[in-house]
Structure 1
Amino acid sequence: MIIEPGMDSGPAIHDVISNGKEINWIVDNSRDAWSTDKGKTEYVCKLIRIHERDSDFIDVELSKCKNYKDDDQLRVLSFRKEKL
């Protein structure tokens, strides 16, 4: 579980499960009392990478995901380098 601080609402909650071959990543807005979107977004992917976007941010990206193109890079989390 990863809990990402929110800017305008409560924290975003990410459930991450892997069996070594696939990553099941779920963003669960139903547990955010202030979110207008009460649904869950689920990604089932084969690859994960840490990408240094610029001098300030590091992104966690998923690829080879079901229902997406193989070369799509889905950014699921971003961190400010100064906060790590």
Structure 2
Amino acid sequence: MAGKKKETQTFEQQIQRLEEIVAQMEKGDAELADSLALFQEGTALIASCGKLLDEAEQTVVQLMKGADGAPVELPFDTEEESDG
């Protein structure tokens, strides 16, 4: 961890790293200091992913403006069965 350069990672790379951290922590064989470092890295990644998701949501809202320029919020269609 100490040898890694700070570089911007994509959302997908951050999620992959989170999955690696979870797998390491689930093993339960890491020392306390290592577990704490993994936990700290994981919480930072979660915050970063949350920020990226918020930014993506804002971009979608901006792209979905109505004729009057106001954002149009539409419900997210899930794959629910319709009564038809």
Question: What is the TM-score of this pair, normalised by structure 2?
Answer: 0.19
Q: Which structure has more strand as a fraction of its residues?
A: 1
Higher Cα radius of gyration? 2
| Structure with larger RCO (C-alpha < 8 A, sep 6+) | 2
Q: Which structure has more helix as a fraction of its residues?
A: 2
